[in-house]
Amino acid sequence: MSKVGKEPIALDYMPWADLGKEFTIGPVSFWPFYAKAEEKIPDPAVRADLTRFFETFVDNVGKPVKTVVACSCGEIAFRRFTPEELRAIRAAVDSLIFASVASGTRSAVCADNNSMAPPSADRFDLCARWVWPCHDGMVVATENSTGFWTHGKYWIPRPLSVGGSFSGNYRPLSQGLGCAFSPEFPTDVRERLFRTFEWFRFAHTESTAVSWLHKVVMMATAFEILLDFPESGKRRHFIDQINSNLCLSDSYMVEMQDGRNGTFNVCKAAEWAGQFYNLRNDITHGDVVPYERLQYKDWITHLIVADMVMLELVKRLLYKHRCIGDYLRHRAAEWAKDSPDPPEKFEERLLAGMFGLDVEGVHEALGWVPPYEEQLKRLENQIRDGLPKATDRS
């Protein structure tokens, strides 16, 4: 909550987010301050005070940034946010972080291009510092301390940890996440989803205070929350959940040990889940874990794969609760008119592809399904084998 003069104003902000257009996630509006301030804040005195305040945030050469994004929920007035509004803003920002980071990472994985760096969670820093102007100075407060500067001009420089700027096309996903705020969305599922995104945010800071070991444990915690892990048998539960949710019709299958001198078959995504949870266990048990264990394939790390698996799980969850996928359902209903199969069959067949969740590219990039050319050739063979044989009329 920004403070102008002595009164709090119902406006939060992200100084480094740099979002070009206004949009909403649930009840929360995100809008570029400098482009929308006159429209959103009609009082010229308040607008001028906020503009002077935001000039405190500068780039790495001391120039005031134009990247400030305001976050509002309901009326922008001299008032305090309600506890419900504060929770909604935090959840909406966490949803934005997930959509932006995961979508940007997906684009890099599918393009096999590690220079397409997504933003970090730090780019969407939501009032990590409580800052407000005072007479000829500034006040900066943290959770446990307050600092007062009463002379001169002060700046807060952009951190080096904001990550890249390639966020991919995250708007469709963020729109779907906005539906999770609806009263019709199951309360328990919503709470797990937003708590999952909170741990996702922790795992995607680029601060040097957090190591890759921490990030593995935090992402594992996010999966435990989202998939409602049991008290015991957590690794096997994780494997089974990933196998049941991410196994595609063309998935490569592998054999895994069941720990009782037996084996079971799962898709390669589920095999990864077992590897990732082993890594998490070794870290939390204090074992020596060399950095090389973080690598999964070429430049792709286990943490990158974790992002892709989390993205697909969230997409499937949103589809299940009808937050995304309207186009697929519409097309399936149209195609079913000329087929004996019900629409649900068409949805099932097309769900993984570009008409649905569009996850096949990730599976191919990670080596979990055959290359597209091989899949196409197999389909052509199936069609050809299904045609009736030509008869000899000579």
DSSP 109-158: HHHT-TTSPPBPGGGG--SSSEEEEETTEEEEE-SS-EEEE-SS---EEP
Ranges of each domain in the chain:
3-157, 211-372
Token pair 């890099």 is at which residue? 108
Spatial separation of the C-alpha atoms in residues 222 and 233, rounded to whole Å: 17
| DSSP conformational letter for 19 | -
Q: What is the pLDDT of residues 179-224, one digit of tens each?
A: 999 999 999 999 999 999 999 999 999 988 899 999 999 999 999 9
The tens digit of pLDDT for each residue in 373-388 reads 887 777 666 666 655 4
Give the C-alpha separation, 13 to 30, whole Å: 9
Q: Higher pLDDT residue, 153 or 54? A: 54
When the pLDDT of each residue in the chain is averaged and rounded to a whole number, the result is 89
Angstrom distance (rounded) from CA 341 to CA 212? 48
Task: Report the share of the chain in percent with pLDDT over 90.
Answer: 68
Other beta carbons within 10 Å of 152: 8
Q: Residue 318, SS3?
A: helix
What does the alpha-carbon distance between residue 168 and residue 334 come to, in Å, rounded to a whole number? Answer: 30
Q: Which two tokens stand for residue 12?
A: 């939060």
Locate 214 and state its tokens.
């921490």
Q: What is the pLDDT of residues 255-304, one digit of tens each?
A: 998 888 889 999 999 999 999 999 999 999 999 999 999 999 999 999 99
Q: Does the pLDDT of residue 50 top 60, yes or no? A: yes
pLDDT band at 2, cuts 50/70/90?
very low
The answer, yes or no, to whether residue 144 has pLDDT greater than 90, is: no
Of the candidate ranges 90-104, 224-238, 250-264, 356-370, the one whose mean pLDDT is the lowest: 250-264
**What are the residues whose beta carbons fall under 8 Å from the beta carbon of 265, sequence distance 6 or more?**
253, 254, 255, 256
Confidence of residue 137 (pLDDT cuts 50, 70, 90): low
Q: Are 252 and 189 in contact (CB under 8 A)?
A: no
Which has the higher per-residue pLDDT, 273 or 354? 273
